[in-house]
Amino acid sequence: MDNYQRAKKIVRKKKGFYQHLAAYLSVNAFLVFIGIFSGEPIMGFLIPAAGWGIGLSIHYLNTFGFPFTKGVMSPEWEDQEIEKEMDKLEGFPERPEPDEELELKEFKKLRSEWTDDQEFV
């Protein structure tokens, strides 16, 4: 995906969040207005506002990420982490496959010299 497509996707996510926020604010303002003029306690709108607020918070985190973690979990961050792990692994020798037999010449030599009446260890 090229940068233009990626930027377009990010802008759509932001636009969706701002539309969600506008709907949240307008509906809850309307609920407060109804509560004031109907004589109902003003606290009656808090339950729907709290429930919807949780959904709005999740939408925010999905759009903008956690505060102070800008760039974490992005494709660029993932590429950087892969590079770090590859650098770490370059210092370690490759492990042999489980199917492979290791040939130990010294062991074979000792085994051929060993007799049943001797202890091998």
Establish if 55 belongs to a structural domain. Answer: yes
**38-96 pLDDT per residue, tens:** 877 767 788 889 999 999 999 998 888 776 666 666 677 777 888 888 877 777 666 55
For residue 46 the two structure tokens come to: 């808090």
Establish if 115 belongs to a structural domain. Answer: no
Establish if 103 belongs to a structural domain. Answer: no
Domain that holds residue 28: 1-69
In this prediction, residue 25 carries a pLDDT of 96
**93-110 pLDDT per residue, tens:** 665 555 555 556 656 666
Establish if 13 belongs to a structural domain. Answer: yes
CA distance 115 to 64: 73
Give 71-75 contacts, CB < 8 A, sequence gap 24+. 75/6
- CB contact at 8 A, 108 and 102: no
Establish if 41 belongs to a structural domain. Answer: yes
Establish if 48 belongs to a structural domain. Answer: yes
Establish if 56 belongs to a structural domain. Answer: yes
CA distance 11 to 17: 10
What is the DSSP code (8-state) at residue 74? S
Choose the most confident range, by mean pLDDT, from 14-18, 28-32, 39-43, 112-116: 14-18
How many domains does the structure of the chain reveal? 1
